[in-house]
A and B are shown apart, each in its own frame.
Chain A
Amino acid sequence: GPKVLQIPSHQIIDMGQMVTLNCDPVSNHLYFYWYKQILGQQMEFLVNFYNGKVMEKSKLFKDQFSVERPDGSYFTLKIQPTALEDSAVYFCASSPDWGGAYTQYFGPGTRLLVL
């Protein structure tokens, strides 16, 4: 199926530092998503993004989080500053539209460890 890429696959940083997670969505997709999964727990929605704007965010999307997609480049999740509880696997997804008829495709995840 369509491929979503995520860079890096792993990231280890010290608490308080900034981190940027990169997502290369499917080329013709217009809607982008970030999800968070703590080891052994359920996947949880963070945010979705379309046309340069956040369309919906969950309570997990703290003020320290931001997303953007400068033209033609990666869809990014930035955390500044990081906290210990941000340690998790972050999954990016994309879809051509956001209705229920349009499938979201996921990347392999970035494993973030905050020390």
Chain B
Amino acid sequence: DAKTTQPDSMESTEGETVHLPCSHATISGNEYIYWYRQVPLQGPEYVTHGLQQNTTNSMAFLAIASDRKSSTLILPHVSLRDAAVYHCILRTYSGGSNAKLTFGKGTKLSVKS
């Protein structure tokens, strides 16, 4: 049911641009790609989501491959507060039994000063 694959961990340095990959080779045409992040002892924080087109907001840029089988969350100029576990999650357009979010282990991003 997980349907996404992410590296367990990545390291970065403050000020760098970080690329977090996610593979979803069996994605369906009606599935959105969501990214959340979570720091210890806090609730998951919504980062961004997309369907087909690349998206950008104040937190990140989401690059979606043309075949939609992979995506990359790009965090520009990371700071120490960007250190978190980043989750890539697929959600069906129609909701129903897929309304829930299914969290995996995600990618633990470490940021050095």
Contact = CB atoms under 8 A, between A and B. Distances in A.
A100 B91 contact: yes
B46 A104 contact: yes
Given A42-B104, A43-B103, A100-B92, A91 B30 contact: no
A42 B45 CA distance: 15
Contacts of A43: 38, 44, 101, 103
A5 to B, nearest CB: 11
Nearest to A102: B95
Nearest to B2: A42
Contact of A33 (B32, B100, B102): B100
Interface residues of A, number: 31
Which label, helix, strand, loop or mixed, suits the secondary structure of the B interface? loop
A47 B106 CA distance: 22
A107 B43 contact: yes
Nearest to B104: A42
Given A33-B101, A56-B100, 9 more contacts: A35-B101, A42-B103, A43-B103, A44-B103, A55-B99, A56-B97, A93-B101, A102-B95, A106-B44
Q: How large is the interface on B (under 10, 10 to 19, 20 to 34, 35 or more residues)?
A: 20 to 34
B43 A45 contact: no
A1 interface: yes
Nearest to A106: B43
B88 to A, nearest CB: 13
B104 A45 contact: no
Interface in A47-85: 48, 55-56, 58
B98 A100 contact: yes
B26 interface: no
A104 B34 CA distance: 10
